[in-house]
Every structure is written in C-alpha cells, then in structure tokens.
Structure 1
Amino acid sequence: MSFFTGSSGHTWQPTTTSDTTVLSYWLNWRFFFCALWILVSMALAFFLIFKYEGFNRSTSSGGENQGEEEETGLVYADEAWNTCLRGIDPSWLLIYRIICFIVLLALIIASVAADGGVIFYFYTQWTFTLVTIYFGFGSYFSLYGCSIKPSKYGSNTVNGTSLDQEYTRKIAGLWGYIFQIIFQTCAGAVMLTDSVFWCIIYPSLMSKDYGVDFLIFCMHTLNALFLLGDTSLNCMRFPMFRFAYFVLWTAIFVIFQWIIHVCVALWWPYPFLDLKSPYAPLWYLAVALMHFPCYGLFALIVRMKHLWLSRSFPGSSQFVP
C-alpha cells in the first residue's frame, strides 16, 4: 500500500480543510465561476485546434513543399530529428535526448520509491512525466533520423531543400504531429510548474519550515533546463495556436482533481485549488492568466533563437521560417 499512499516524510501534504464529498461544497457561486473559467478556456482551445491544426489537412499538399504559403499547423517529418544547423550532426541531438530520457526516468523511479504513487497526484509529476515521454519519443525519432539521413537526405540541405532542387520535404505522419504537440505542451507546462513552485509554493513552504530535498529540486528545475537544451539543438517550430494544448493539459488536471474530490474527502495538492476559499475564483483566474506569460516566454526564446540563427548562419540554418 505504500506505493499508493507514499511517505509523509518526503511529500508535502496539506491537511484536509473540508469535506469535499458534500453537495454544498460544489453547489455554490465559487465553483460556478471556477468551472466557467475552465469551460471557456477549453472551448477556446478546441476552437484554435480545429481552426489551425494541420494534421487533418496535411495530405492536401501531397507531401511536398511547393513553395506556396504553408499552413500554420504544418509539420514536416524531419523536424522531429533534424538539428537547427547543418554543421550540427543529428547524432548529437540523439545522444542528448537519450541522456535526458535516462536521467528523467531515473528521477521518476526514485521519486516513486521515496514517496510512492502519490506523486502522480501533483501537476508537477504529470508534467515531468510528459517531458520524459517527450525525450523517449525524441530518442526514437532521432535514432530513426540518423539511420535514414545518409541515404535519403544527404548532407546538402538548407531549410529542408536540397541544393540540387530534387528533394521534396515530406509532411509528418500522425506521430510526428503528436510529438510536436507534446513538445509545445511541455514548453508551457514546465514554465508554469517551475514558476508556480519557486514563486508561490516554495516561499510558503519556507515559512512553515518545510525543506526542499534533492528530488524536489530536480523535479522543478531539470524539466525546464533539459527542454531548453533540446530546443537549442532541434529545428522544431513553435506556432502560437498550440497554446491550446497547454490549456487543455492544465484543464484536464483540474477536472481530474475535481472528480477525485467529489468521490473522496482528500487534501488538495495545491492550496489555491481548494474551492472552499472565497478567493478561489480569483486564484483559478490568476493561474489561468499565468499560462500566457509562461507560454509566451518559451515562444520568445524560440523566436530569438531562430532570429539569431538566420542572421548569424544564413546558409546553414535548417528551421522552417
């Protein structure tokens, strides 16, 4: 049973403030406004996905880049494994991704061994696991790319177009789109996770004499650092509309928490999720608004990288403008 319940010596568990299984906890104006924020956010997210996502229209171009204006959500197959510069061999990205995957997986296993399965009750571990999955998929795509690059792509490519003009860039399949979606979801989620922890939760823990051990420190730093390192090497784009998946990721976590608390009187993983507080709608709205700067910061980093590469290495950059 310790796998599911964990150890209170490692995991911070606030006390249960009220019985969340009674109807009065949910049938009130506080829950109404919190649910309204979530439903409106999800509706707008689905609208953006259906309007801009490219995997359901990618076959219309016949798998070729014909020089026409590209759809915002288009993803090319080699974006999952190619590097940002011709001078950087994709094998370096492969090595980096394998190392990150092993380290992140080891940290998850160590956290489960220390605290039990209760760690997956937290948004941090949801995001950390998603980042681990990203590097697992990335290792596979990089391995595949390294195996086909010498024979199918060669070394004479710039921005996905061969110097002899005979190469046509293939559009990614479903898994290529899923990989891109995971990348952009992780980008916003790691920024939100780390910023909320270090700026909101950590100060409150220090005031109550809670310590931050090695695993907690790694869980709230390495996810962002490793993803930024991958971003510096890969040639993946960052269209802003995929902000929608980040919103859905957080909304699913909140709904998951609501479902659990309807069934079981349990402590909340984060105090600002507690619907008993009269400030709950403001807390929910504040966290929702934090999604914009968190996602925007990562998008800005990607844009700055692309701008710098296009100016400093105009003949070697391999990202899609």
Structure 2
Amino acid sequence: MTKEQERARARRRYEEHQKTEKPPVGDATRDKQVFGVILAVILVLAAVIIVPQFFGRDDTPTPAAASTTPATTPATAATGANGLLEGQKLAAGCTKPPPAQTAPKQQTAVPAKAAAAGKTFVATVKTTCGDMVFELDGAAAPQTVASFLNLAKTGFWAPSPCHRVTTEGIYVLQCGDPTGTGQGGPGYTFGIENAPKDGTYPTGALAMARTQDPNSNGGQFFITYKETQLPTDGGGYTIFGKVTKGLDIVDKIAANKALPPTPTDGTPVSPISILSVSVTEKKA
C-alpha cells in the first residue's frame, strides 16, 4: 500500500469518527448553560430566603397538648380603671381579683415525695369566686402531692390568677401561675406520675400542666370540668387528685368563655384568682 493510500484511509477513518462525536459546544451555547446554572441557583436561594418572608416560618415547637401546656398566650388587653382587662366582667358571686404577682417566690429543691407517699390530703382553695375543695392522692402521685403541699404551705399561690380556660374539644381551667402569664413556676420541676394510658381525664380531675418536656411539671395545674381526651404523646399529664366541691364555680367561669380573639382558648372573660390554699391530711 502506497503512502497516498495510507493517508486516504486515515482521512476516511477520521471523517467516520467525526460523524459519531457530539459537536463541540459553541460560545453561545456555553453562555446559555452558564446562565441556566446561575438562574437555578438564584431560584433556590429565593425559595430558601425570600419565600419564608412572605408566608412565615413555623419552627416553634408544637406543644404536646395545647390544652394543658403552661406556655399559653397571655391577654394583651389593657387593664381598665376597675382592675379588669378590657372585655372582662365578673361572674355572679365573684369579686374583683387582686393584681398578679410580678416576682413569685422561687425555690430550687424538689420537695421529698416521702411527705405525701401513701397519704390522702384535703386542700381548701379560697378563690375570688368562692371556695373549692380538692382531694389529693399521695398514693398515686406522691411527688406531685408533696410539691402541692409545699407550695400551699409557702404561700406560692397567694394570690394566683387562673389564666386559661378552654371551651371546645377540651374542657379545662388552668391555674397555678402567680404571674398570670402562663410562664411562671416555683423554680423547680419534676416528672410525670399517674397519667392515664388512654388519655381520658374524667370530670373533676385535678392534673398537672406542663410543656413538651415530660420533666417540666411545677406549680401549674388544671381542672377538667367535663370529661376530656388529651394526647398521650410524651407521657400524658399527671392526675394527682379530684375536685370534691366547687366544680360549679369552674362551670360558671367556662360558660363565659375566653377573651377575643380566641374565645375558646385563652384568658377567661370572667376572672378568677386563688387567694390562699390550706391543706390537711385526711385520716382513715
């Protein structure tokens, strides 16, 4: 084979190879690809940064049960000349509540459960709407009852507004925060005891309020004025007693619902405050 023939064969192989190759990217095409990448990056950044500004972000932890968590929204209405919040009115048989505490007494040590273990107590709770009586079950919830005894003895709740009422789906009156904001506590916390496995809280149950943290029980508690079903996620809520007298007072407060804008969950329209709590052991 001559050199001319070899060169011709090499040329043909090169031409055949070129037919199967993708054409090189031109400047215009390359610019379009680069622009497309930049545009994609801009759109991603917009989705991450700009869109939440318009639609808002919800990275607030969801409470285990909105009905019983201490973290409630305090009333924003101004206090009137009569000492009531705007929109509040006294229910029949109630007197004007005293101002909430601004600096409730704080403690650091959790009371020893031995003070209540295996015992039953009777608590008389004086309120601006009359007396309520609780029976406290130290056998079922010794730590919780020991804490209740301690807070009653030290005057933690004197005075203390009941800052939350719920009237739809769940039926509770929540009390025990001397500041009335839903954020106050005694300075110590403890865990869950005696929570119903099925999440059913009977009428008149006395139970502890808490946040999502199962070890956040403190001084806040709630009363169920109708049977209420609550989530069991996180361990439920400690039942430590029951109301034996004065549940009609809770019914009266609940009947007037909560202040706007959420009349089914918030600060009661008809205020009620704890004035004092005294506890005695119930003898067999």
| Bucket of the pairwise TM-score, normalised by the shorter protein | under 0.3
Q: So what's the TM-score if we normalise by structure 1?
A: 0.24
Structure with the larger helix share: 1
Of Structure 1 and Structure 2, the greater strand share is in 2
**TM-score between the two structures when normalised by the length of structure 2:** 0.26
Q: Between the two structures, name the one with larger relative contact order (CA 8 Å, sep ≥ 6).
A: 1
Structure ID, larger Rg? 2
